[in-house]
């Protein structure tokens, strides 16, 4: 099984020559959700309504990069063509992770790891519904949650650097993490087939 270092290297390879597009996509994603979320009183509703298709499109962008495609920044809005299922998946994951987090922080983290592949799964199977994508993600992640957790933890140094730059560094960190997660998904998928 590839190590975290190897998965990060695969993520960097997929971003080679495409960093600025990935940074631009991350910036636009952050600006949209940040601006909508800052609307007094109702911003959270806007984030819930837009979060699904935008988050789905982010995952798809990095999965396509990993597969050697060269998606455009405008593909951030491709998730709206599958609005209902992507919004339902976003809301379902959000609610389930919150509910597990009510038990304590650790169950919430485990739930987030368990459901982490659902967007990739939904991309690869256009006929799958949100609940089935979550169930399939749980099956795929059985015995692999620790691997993904270690991959995430391996970005702590980068996250600290990002914090020092008042979050500006996250414009590079988020693409790096998502590209590495796409590499993780492809490895996991090959083992589940």
pLDDT of 193 higher than 90: no
Reported as a single tens digit per residue, the pLDDT across 142-188 is 999 999 999 999 999 999 999 999 989 999 999 999 999 999 999 99
Q: Which of 109, 144, 3, 120 is nearest to 62 (CA)?
A: 120
Q: Is the distance from CB of 186 to CB of 7 less than 8 angstroms?
A: no
Q: Tally the C-alpha atoms within 13 A of residue 23's C-alpha that lie toward its C-beta.
A: 12
Distance CA 133, CA 95 (A): 15
Reported as a single tens digit per residue, the pLDDT across 36-80 is 999 998 899 999 999 999 999 999 999 999 999 999 999 999 999
Tell me how long the chain is.
Answer: 193
Distance CA 81, CA 109 (A): 30
Tally of structural domains, the chain: 1
Distance CA 14, CA 70 (A): 10
Distance CA 10, CA 12 (A): 5
pLDDT at residue 177 in the model: 97
pLDDT of 104 higher than 90: no
What is the extent of the structural domain holding 34? 4-192
Distance CA 183, CA 98 (A): 27
pLDDT of 1 higher than 90: no
Cβ within 8 Å of residue 144, ≥6 positions away: 188
Q: For residue 71, with 0-12 CB atoms within 10 Å meaning exposed, 13-18 middle and 19 or more buried, which class applies?
A: buried
């Amino acid at each position: 099984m590839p190590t975290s270092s190897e998965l990060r290297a695969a993520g960097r390879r997929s971003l080679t020559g495409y960093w600025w597009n990935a940074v631009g996509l991350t910036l636009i994603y952050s600006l949209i959700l940040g601006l909508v979320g800052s609307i007094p009183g109702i911003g959270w509703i806007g984030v819930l309504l837009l979060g699904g298709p935008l988050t789905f499109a982010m995952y798809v962008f990095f999965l396509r990069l990993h597969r050697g495609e060269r998606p455009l920044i405008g593909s951030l809005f491709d998730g709206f063509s599958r609005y209902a299922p992507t919004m339902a998946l976003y809301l379902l994951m959000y609610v389930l992770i919150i509910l597990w987090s009510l038990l304590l922080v650790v169950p919430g983290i485990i739930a987030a790891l368990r459901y982490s592949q659902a967007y990739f799964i939904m991309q690869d199977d256009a006929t799958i519904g949100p609940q089935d994508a979550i169930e399939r993600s749980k099956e795929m992640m059985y015995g692999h949650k620790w691997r993904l957790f270690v991959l995430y933890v391996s970005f702590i140094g980068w996250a600290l650097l990002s914090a020092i730059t008042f979050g500006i560094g996250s414009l590079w960190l988020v693409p790096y993490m998502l590209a590495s997660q796409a590499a993780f998904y492809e490895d996991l998928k090959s083992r589940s087939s």
